[in-house]
Amino acid sequence: MTSAMTEKIPPQPVDSADVTSDSYNHLEITWSEPFSQCGDPSYNVSRRLLLIDQCDDSMADMVTREVTGDPIIEYDDLLPYSTYVFTVLATLEGYEAETVFFITYNSTESNSTGPPEYFTVASTVKRKLDYTWSSPPCGDRNGALSYDYEFGEAGGDEVQRENLMMTSQSFEDLKHYVMYEFTVCPRTVVGPGPCIFNQTRTLPSEPIGLLNTGSEVGSTNQTYTIIAWEKPESINGLFLRYEIQKDNDDVIMIEEEDIRMYEFSDLEPNNEYTIQVRAVSNGGNGAWDSVDVTTLPIPEPNTPAVPLFKAKNDTSISIEWPLVDDTNLGIYRITHYTVSYSSSTGDEDTIDVTYITSPMVCTIAPLEPGTEYYIKVRAVNEGGPGGWSESLTESTEPKPTTGGPNSLAVGLGVGVPILLIIMVSSGFIVYKKRRDAPPTPPKEYDLENVPADENGGTSNPVLVRTTIPSTPKAKPPVKQRPPQHEPIHISNLAKVIKAKRMSRDGFEKEYKALLNKSDEGCIGNNPENKPKNRYKNIITYDEHRVKLNKLPTEPGADYINATFIDGYKKENAFIASQGPNAASLNDFWQMVYEQRTSTIVMLTNLLEKDKKKCIEYWPSAGNHKRYGELEVIAREVKDEGSYVLRKFEVGKPDRTTNRLNITQYHYTIWPDMGVPESSQPLLDFRDIVKNANPADSGPIIVHCSAGVGRTGTFITINCMIEMIEAEKKIDVFNFINEMRKRRAFMVQVQQQYEFIYETLLQWSHCEKVSFSIIDLPTTVKTWGTIKDADGRTEMSRQFEVLEYMAPMESTGSDQKGSLPVNAKKNRYPDRVPVDKFKPLLMTKGDEVDDNDYINASFFDVEGRKNVHVCTQCPLMSTVGDFWRLVWDYDIHTIIHLNEMDSTCGQYWPDSDKTNFGSFTIELLSDRTLTDTMTERVLKVTTSKKKGERQITQLQYLGWPNDSLVPRSKMDFFELLTQVDNNNTSEKKFLVVCMDGVGASPTFLAANAAIDRVREDKTVDIFSAVKRLRKSRPGVVDELERYEFCYDVLAAYQDSVQTYANYM
């Protein structure tokens, strides 16, 4: 039997295939099975990647998979936008088809997985930005690319959007010095990929737009004007300053952008000035904007009445006339009168009468006997003469017809007046020189250390009653006089205060212009009275001193160092007195009794800075004591916090009639030679005194230690408030000048002078700024919702007043932080500390150019100076300086606010230890306290000094950099509580935020407010912020931050109430 063998033949090749895909990485290939007589073939399917992302050749190997059964294969790992080659080869029992089926496949696109590369931005031309970039790297493109971009001002509402095929874009006609945001994203047909974001500021330019400079309405007088201007239309850069120039004088620079007023107080009367102002940015100088100001002429005196005949003889005529009213002339009062006389046959002659009497008198001599004269008068001041009066016609007596013995008398009658005139002329010249001598400038004294020869002032001039003949003369030259100080309407008060602060020496110049009168010749300087004076240079002037009713059995028996002071439209409303010493103790109570005083205001403590300031001149509570002829009984003593109230009964012993009830108000929180930290307690104190003083009582006695500084300040504030109530005006300068005519050095230092203005501004523009914590919810609601006629809430009014109160210490180019060597150490070039309140680094730095500068400021707390430090978050280059600050000032607690960004240098290790120059920082512990608070304990050592420090850092994570306030007031209150718990002993810490002036001082204000509430249950955030701004103007810089401090107090109140309810 013969068997037949079947011949094995290769399978038929695959001749067609279908490719399907539902995503870039997924592929399905199917093909038709070739005909085969010998069974079902299998297939070797191979794949090779040829081109990645259509931009890079691949060297990948061929990868083969065997397919049996159904002719289908799937791939799910393809790369997008790439080229693959697939082959399908049929095999059967070891035989392969003669041909291979080839498939070339391009995968579909996907979103790009990488951002553009090599991004650049150029700002080489003003108002233009050029952006360029390259495609994402090959392998991340994932498709044919175009580019989506968005462009617009940072924080703006308008955004320009477009799709480009190019890799560059330019923008023109942009605004100067504006931050623009540009975002570019690669796009495939599927959609956009990762983007690049950029913020770039255009180049600065000079400011544009007129400032509309003008003179404040009603502000210009003979020597003074206030000019004001508006902000330029666009500053076009970083504001540097305003420049002001009067005519060709030196340029005045103002470095606060919101200060747009300036006060000129040294002008000449009846003069025209061109004053120009321009804004300066880091892009250049703006155009000058000018205003012409013409000062008022010196007012001309009124015309006198017709002179009246008084007496005459054959060679003289005596006349008189009433004084001309010169109250309307301000400081330009009448200096003398000119008398003109002429006959019908002779020339006109004149006499200057310089001694002012009421009525005025003048004897005209020598005249011709029996001659008719025409006599007229006019008044003269520094601006020149006024109009002539109508003429008096009067004749001299006829010449005597007989000679003999009377001839000598006639000769004397003529000769003696001439001799007197010559003698008096010499005397007048001496007097005139003395009167025109410049006054001794006032000084700020510690009154206990003033030697007797430093009283200042000049000798009292001796006035000579006479007439002085003279030839007619031209209009006298105008002399430079102290500036005229007109009353200020309260609607302009804030602007005036800011203008004075803005002019740097505005308050200083005004204070130094106050009267400084001599006390020469006063009986207080007599030997018998010197023991009664607490300070040898504070003597009451004789004319207005209080005189005791004592028999003149001994010299000086009626003397006490006390002065009558007028109130507002009330004569002798006050007595300004020194604090009694042992020699004047009995006299003090006699003065109280004789003046029928009901109220004593005491503004000093018995002992201050280890110096005795006043004797305890009253008996202890419940006791009585004899002072001279009087008995004083202490009926009541009550401590009211900021003051102590004492009630006394005063009278003669063993008598029940004619006894006085006296109340002493002893204010205890006013430092010597200084001012209270807060005006509000003093304003409350003033109201209590005023309301309690009986209307029919004698003068209120006010005393401190010397009876001039605090005493003068209190009286001025009291009277100016009364003036505001009556006239809506204040007149501080002239009121103090009038007081100084009676008692030297009233309002003793410039700081007190400025405090008066601040206090009056607060009283006139704000409601009571402090209140009990019990009233917090209702008060804050009222302050935040009820608006005045101008649409402002009480909260916003307070914040505005704080802006005007802050001292205008320069924070600009004249501070050391702005020097080129230090500029690189500042995160923001316009935020540098005030030199006066800047800590100096003492540990030597590690770099060659290290110095003592760091961008940080000291801040006071109530009753303690330079306690806390606020600083910017360190830059990469200033971390070493940061640790020098911590080491040099022995800081043990650091509070870190705000988030860290790319500009911040992390100054602590994440684990173990790290070195920052010569400092080694070791992490001892790191624990999370809450979702927003982390506590780290660090050990600090330095190779330059012995010892080690342990520092606690509390990092608060709930205050975003782009937010004015934290996200949660309760979280923030927890931070304050934790700080208080960690810092119970030293109460001193370093507060860190991005700029050192935003978040950090807001933290200090809230912390101080809580401390105050814990101490006496009083809310006074206004005073806390005011105190902070003395160290660094502009802190707590937004109303929202100010309001947030009240929110934190509300959180504190909630926590206290919750605890109380739990207990």
Cα–Cα dist 549/528, whole Å: 17
Helix (H, G, I), strand (E, B) or coil at 955: strand
Residue in this structure with the two tokens 């003046």, named with its chain if needed? 595
Do the beta carbons of residue 460 and residue 468 sit within 8 Å?
Answer: no
Under 8 Å between Cβ of 194 and 188: no
Count of helices and strands (H, E) across the chain: 16, 56
Structure tokens at 623: 């006791």
In three state form, how does the secondary structure of 806-868 look? CCCCCCCCCCHHHCHHHHCCCCCCCCCCCHHHCCCCCCCCCCCCCCCCCCEEEEEECCEEEEE
**Cis geometry, peptide bond prior to residue 71 (ω within 30 degrees of 0):** no
**What SS3 state is found at 591?**
helix
Print the SS3 string covering 630-647. Answer: EEEEEEEEEECCCEEEEE
Contacts of residue 425, defined as CB under 8 A and 6 or more positions apart, other chains included, come to 468
Bond into 366 cis (ω within 30): yes
3-state class (DSSP) for residue 226: strand
Give yes or no for a contact between 894 and 989, defined as CB atoms under 8 angstroms apart: yes
Taking alpha carbons only, the member of 815, 960, 826, 945 closest to residue 883 is 945
How large is the angle between the packed helices 794-805 and 776-785, nearest 10 degrees? 80
Task: Write the DSSP string, 429-468.
Answer: HHHHHHHHSPPPPP----GGG--GGG----PPPPP----E
**H or E stretch at 750:** helix 750-765
SS3 track for 263-304: EECCCCCCCEEEEEEEEEECCEECCCEEEEEECCCCCCCCCC
CA distance 429 to 426: 5
The residues facing 198 across adjacent strands are: 182
Q: Which are the catalytic amino acids?
A: 704, 993
Q: How many residues does the chain have?
A: 1063
Q: Which sign, positive or negative, has the C-alpha torsion 679, 681, 685, 688?
A: positive
| Both tokens assigned to 737 | 């000048």
Q: Are 88 and 104 in contact (CB under 8 A)?
A: no
- 3-state DSSP assignment of residue 535: coil
DSSP reduced 3-state for 911 = coil
Half-sphere exposure of 135 (CA within 13 A, CB side): 18
* b/e burial code for range 614-633 (CB count within 10 A of at least 16 → b): bbebbbeeeeeeebeebbbb
Could you tell me which of 583, 587, 607 has the C-alpha nearest to residue 546? 587
**DSSP E strand stretches across 283-438:** 284-285, 289-294, 308-312, 317-321, 336-343, 349-353, 360-364, 372-381, 384-385, 392-395
Segment holding 948, helix H or strand E: strand 945-956
Phi, psi (rounded to 5 degrees) for 572: 50, 45
